[in-house]
């Protein structure tokens, strides 16, 4: 994740000493988002029609009702889910880790 973030956001600096642990991000209010929460092994978007989108959108809507949340949308489908987030109230970033996006 840190490699992709650095590629998309040159100013990104990975946190020192946490060995990739994302708990500090979650505790600071960052939502790491993917459109689908499961897939078949090596089959990107294989569960895209299983209803995950409804759940994902509901989670976004509930969290967006708070103020000052940072959203990190991981890939094109997730980017579409956060498209309506009010950027005056929240920070929204997206990265595209897959060559399929």
Residue 68's nearest CA partner among 41, 31, 23 is: 31
Residue 23 belongs to domain with CATH number: 3.40.470.10
What is the extent of the structural domain holding 21? 2-95
Evaluate whether residue 86 is within a structural domain. yes
Rounded Cα gap, residues 34 and 81, in angstroms: 9
Which residues are CB-contacts of 49 (< 8 A; sequence separation ≥ 6)? none
Is residue 43 in some structural domain? yes
**6 band by pLDDT with thresholds 50, 70 and 90:** confident
Question: Is 38 part of a structural domain of the chain?
Answer: yes
Summary mean pLDDT of the chain: 83
Domain count, the chain: 1
pLDDT above 70: residue 101:
no
Residue 101 lies in a domain: no
- For residue 44, the tally of other CB atoms under 10 A from its CB is 15
What pLDDT is stored for residue 41 in this prediction?
92
Strand order in the sheet with 91-95: 30-33, 70-74, 91-95
Q: pLDDT (tens digit, 9 = 90+) per residue, 50-85?
A: 888 899 899 999 999 998 888 888 778 788 889 999
């Amino acid at each position: 994740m840190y490699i992709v973030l650095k590629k998309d956001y040159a100013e990104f600096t990975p946190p020192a000493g946490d060995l990739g642990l994302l708990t500090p991000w979650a505790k600071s209010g960052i939502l790491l988002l993917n459109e689908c929460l499961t897939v078949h092994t090596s089959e990107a978007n294989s569960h895209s029609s299983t209803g995950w989108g409804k759940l994902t959108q509901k989670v976004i809507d509930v969290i967006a009702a708070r103020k000052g949340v940072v959203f990190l949308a991981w890939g094109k489908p997730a980017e579409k889910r956060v498209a309506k987030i009010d950027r005056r109230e929240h920070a929204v970033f997206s990265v595209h880790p897959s060559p399929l996006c």
